[in-house]
Homo-oligomer: A and B are copies of this chain.
């Protein structure tokens, strides 16, 4: 679990994560990361050939963090799939709001190399958790489980994105995202049980 790994590679990623959380995606330059890690601007190149490689490693950390957070939440939630999906969705939105810069980076596919560094492999488990819960909560007349899960994920993601951008508050007049979240869950999974 080398979280306190002392190698330069790990220090660079840690500095990048810290930076993106604090200052947002646009602050995460190679040179700034190197500065914060206390090395010269050329040093990162030894471990990350390009900027994209370093950003991908940082985003990977973000996906891992989000996944961990979801799993932690789910540990304390009772087994009813609908309840668990609600908790998962709430955690997703909270993550996006709390770590806005990281969330942005995670879905900036133009900045990331999703092929190398197994970035996709880090985000898929989360979807698998969601897909599994959706499969349990699915009603017979619903769309196939994979499609239903995809549509629900897209809805969550869209709410997170547009909410952060300020478009949804403006367009709907809402002051928090809870109504939207409930609407999305009700829509895809059927009305909430009492």
Q: Is A86 an interface residue (CB 8 A)?
A: no
Q: Which residues of B contact A24 (CB under 8 A)?
A: 110
A97 to chain B, nearest CB (A): 14
A92 to chain B, nearest CB (A): 11
Q: How many copies does the complex hold?
A: 2
> Are A146 and B172 in touch, CB under 8 angstroms?
yes
Interface size range of chain A in the complex: 35 or more
Q: Is A174 an interface residue (CB 8 A)?
A: yes
* Interchain CA distance A127-B171 in the complex, whole Å: 7
A160 to chain B, nearest CB (A): 8
Which stretch of A13-21, A34-42, A74-82, A177-185 is in the interface? Answer: A177-185
Given contacts A171-B124, A171-B127, contact A155 B151 (CB under 8 A): yes
> Are B167 and A123 in touch, CB under 8 angstroms?
yes
Beta-carbon contacts under 8 Å, A145-159 to B = 146-151, 153-159
9 A-B Cβ contacts within 8 A?
A24-B110, A107-B165, A120-B167, A143-B186, A146-B173, A154-B162, A157-B161, A158-B161, A187-B188
